[in-house]
């Protein structure tokens, strides 16, 4: 299986996934904490060891599109929200250490629309994560397309 290595930078997100947002969106906050039991229940390997937040990796001006995701899971994780998630196993490299994680892609919905130049990652807690630092992932090529953004 051929892998594609993507290099990017860690950037600040809305902090809703981790619950560090002061306001959340539409009253929702700490979303990954609420979703994690469903990932575990549906058999996502290693889910119990993942940090309950995401790492935002920008690859801009490039963009990505998932194709044939390894896992697709749909569940109601909040009384008002049923959502479908696509996940792809990745190897994450940060500060010369490697971690196993996932590309985390909630399908666009009325509660969010994804930026195509930002890849969200689920991973174990990684010490030393700082915005602006380099990060890279290794992804099986059959699961991702990467292309230049023609507007930038």
Residue 31 CA to residue 77 CA, distance in Å, equals: 8
Residue 117 CA to residue 119 CA, distance in Å, equals: 7
Walking along the chain (152 residues) 10 residues at a time, the average pLDDT comes out as 94 58 51 88 95 92 91 90 93 96 82 72 93 96 86 52
Residue 14 CA to residue 21 CA, distance in Å, equals: 7
pLDDT of residue 40: 96
**CA 28 from centre of chain:** 18
Distances (CA, A) of 96 to 90, 99, 104, 108, 121: 16, 10, 22, 33, 18
Nearest partner of 55 among 20, 88, 15, judged by Cα: 15
pLDDT of residue 21: 46
Domains recognised in the chain with CATH numbers: 3-148 (2.40.30.30)
Are 24 and 16 spatial neighbours (Cβ–Cβ below 8 Å)? yes
pLDDT of residue 55: 94
- Residue 97: CB partners within 8 Å, gap ≥ 6? 126
Dihedral-angle region of residue 24 (phi above 0 means left; psi in -120 to 50 means alpha; beta otherwise): left
Q: Is the previous residue joined to 142 through a cis bond, with omega within 30 degrees of 0?
A: no
SS3 category, 35: helix
pLDDT of residue 104: 94
pLDDT of residue 24: 47
DSSP β-bridge partners for residue 119: 57
pLDDT of residue 18: 46
The pTM assigned to this predicted structure is 0.85
pLDDT of residue 108: 64
pLDDT of residue 141: 94
């Amino acid at each position: 299986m051929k892998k594609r290595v993507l290099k990017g930078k860690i950037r600040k997100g809305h902090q809703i996934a981790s619950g560090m947002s002061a306001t959340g969106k539409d009253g929702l906050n700490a979303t990954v904490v609420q979703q994690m039991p469903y990932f575990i229940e549906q058999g996502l390997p290693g889910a119990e060891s993942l940090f309950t937040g995401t790492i935002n990796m920008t690859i801009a001006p490039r963009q990505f599109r998932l194709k044939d995701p390894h896992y697709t899971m749909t569940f109601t994780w909040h009384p008002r929200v049923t959502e479908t998630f696509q996940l792809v196993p990745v190897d994450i490299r940060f500060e010369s250490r490697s971690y196993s994680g996932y590309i985390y892609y909630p399908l666009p919905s009325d509660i969010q629309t994804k930026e195509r130049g930002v890849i969200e990652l689920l991973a174990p807690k990684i010490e030393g994560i700082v915005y602006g630092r380099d990060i890279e992932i290794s992804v099986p090529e059959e699961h991702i397309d990467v292309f230049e953004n023609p507007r930038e």
